[in-house]
Amino acid sequence: MTEITEKLKQSGARLGALTTDALTKSGEGFESFLTRTRSARAAFFDETRDAGAALLAETREAGLELVRAFGDEASTLRELLLPSVPQLPAPSELKGEVGDTTTQLQVRLLSSLKEALGTMDRKVAERLDALGPTGSKKAPAKKAKKASAKKSAPAKKSAKAPLSGYDELTAKEVVAQLAELAPAQVDAVVAYEKAHKNRRTVLKAAARKAA
């Protein structure tokens, strides 16, 4: 009986030692696990912060590059279009013309604006062509319109002045010469005047002559 009791005590002691050793190792392993987890979490946070900072820097640089590109394009367009802005004719230029000076100014200004808008449209279209295809379905229509405008341009340029030095004559001088013209010549004056300066004084005088 005593021998059995002694063996049981020894077995219990060994079991206790094994349990203590297992608990010690488990504690060390758990502590090591916590340490590794903390290190991994810190590394993850550091990498995330660095990646976020790099992304912000790249985004900021891309934004600045986009702003610079827009600025350069705006400067290019401004240089292209500013020369097309019409200048308002001075009243002294209309001093020798018959009729309402205000109306003459309006006609001249509107004619200049019409010409300037055409020039601006052409320069913007040329700029778009230079930048490359945009994939727009409306592009062929614009090209067709542009081609049509080019075809019609020679017809306007080919119109011959009905009188010698007509473009330098004032409205008063043209009206003075209408009295000596044949009906066909008066019609030619009306057609040419409408296609160019479109001066109301000249057109009214021609209408009275034809009546």
pLDDT at 40 over 60: yes
Q: What percent of the chain stands above pLDDT 90? A: 9
For residues 205 and 180, is the Cβ–Cβ distance under 8 A?
Answer: no
User: pLDDT-based confidence at 142, cuts 50/70/90?
Assistant: low
Asked whether the predicted pLDDT for residue 2 surpasses 90, the reply is: no
- Whether 136 has a pLDDT exceeding 50, the answer reads no
Res 191 pLDDT > 90? yes
Query: Which tokens hold the place of 12?
Result: 């219990």
Query: Which of 109 and 134 is assigned the larger pLDDT?
Result: 109
CA of residue 94 relative to chain centroid, distance = 39
Distance of CA 164 to the CA centre of its chain: 46
**Residue 52: which region, alpha, beta or left (left: phi > 0; alpha: psi -120 to 50)?**
alpha
pTM over 0.85: no
